Amino acid sequence: MRRPIERLGLRVLGSVSELGRMGVFVGGVVRAGVLPRYRVRRFIEELYDVGVLSLAIICLSGLTVGAVLALQGYYNLARFGAEGSLGAVVGLVLVRELGPVLTALLVTGRAASAMAAQIATMVTTEQLDGLRMMSVDPLDFVVAPKAKAMVVAMPLLNALFIVFAIFGGYLVGVSYLGLDGGQYWSSLESAIVFGQDIAGSVLKSVVFGTLVAIIATYRGYTAEPTAAGVSAATTGTVVTASVAVLVFDYAITALWGV
């Protein structure tokens, strides 16, 4: 009886100390991020890695998701004779829910995993220790620009995903299924409230960007300096960040109704 309780206790203690380490890490990144030395060039390089290199997957996925949503929406709305509301359904679902969530999951798979692997490789090849020996703080030089780029890129990619998805919905709804184009746009415009839906979408994507940035950089930074450590950091980032995005999505929706 004692053994399982001991094991549970150890696991709880382990989790609490892991959270503590993560808190110290986040504090260090935030402190480094607001230092007067903003490292604009490194930030732009990271923004390119996270943002520009994700454009193709975001645009293609957006287009496909919008098209599928329009198909599903059209057939279901037609059962109630409400196919004219297709634009509103596609827009609301994308802006409030699918845009931020799917963008975060796609960026996690493409950019956050690469970010974790890159930092973990720098740990393994002593590049971070090399920086420390040059009196350069790796949190300031490596981690903070990456984290900032993720937080900035996420809402922008979210916006792009939504735009392409709405266009995908238009292609299917109007060009393929024969809905009136004007009706598609007017129902979309009248359904979406800027202060609530758009602001909510931005809020979600900023929260998801912050979460994904913390998890990816922390996993990479604390990786074991071995090949297995790099692999574990990458896998751990994808799994943890994906679950965290879904859990926080529910929490934000439940708390603020966005």
**Footprint on this chain of another protein (rule: CB under 8 A):** 45, 122, 125-127, 129-137
Residue 71 Cβ vs another protein, minimum distance, rounded to whole Å: 43
Name the residue nearer to another protein (CB basis): 6 or 126.
Answer: 126
Residue 133 Cβ vs another protein, minimum distance, rounded to whole Å: 4
Name the residue nearer to another protein (CB basis): 78 or 136.
Answer: 136
Q: Tell me, what amino acid is at 175?
A: S
SS (H, E, C) the chain: CHHHHHHHHHHHHHHHHHHHHHHHHHHHHHHHHCCCCCCHHHHHHHHHHHCHHHHHHHHHHHHHHHHHHHHHHHHHHHCCCCHHHHHHHHHHHHHHHHHHHHHHHHHHHHHHHHHHHHHHHHHHCCHHHHHHHCCCCHHHHHHHHHHHHHHHHHHHHHHHHHHHHHHHHHHHHHHHCCCCHHHHHHHHHHHCCHHHHHHHHHHHHHHHHHHHHHHHHHHHHCCCCCHHHHHHHHHHHHHHHHHHHHHHHHHHHHHHCC
Name the residue nearer to another protein (CB basis): 72 or 127.
Answer: 127
Name the residue nearer to another protein (CB basis): 85 or 118.
Answer: 118
Name the residue nearer to another protein (CB basis): 136 or 193.
Answer: 136
Residue 35 Cβ vs another protein, minimum distance, rounded to whole Å: 12
Residue 86 Cβ vs another protein, minimum distance, rounded to whole Å: 46
Name the residue nearer to another protein (CB basis): 127 or 235.
Answer: 127
Instruction: Confirm if 103 and 58 have CB atoms less than 8 A apart.
Output: yes
Residue 49 Cβ vs another protein, minimum distance, rounded to whole Å: 10
Instruction: Confirm if 184 and 81 have CB atoms less than 8 A apart.
Output: no
Residue 193 Cβ vs another protein, minimum distance, rounded to whole Å: 44
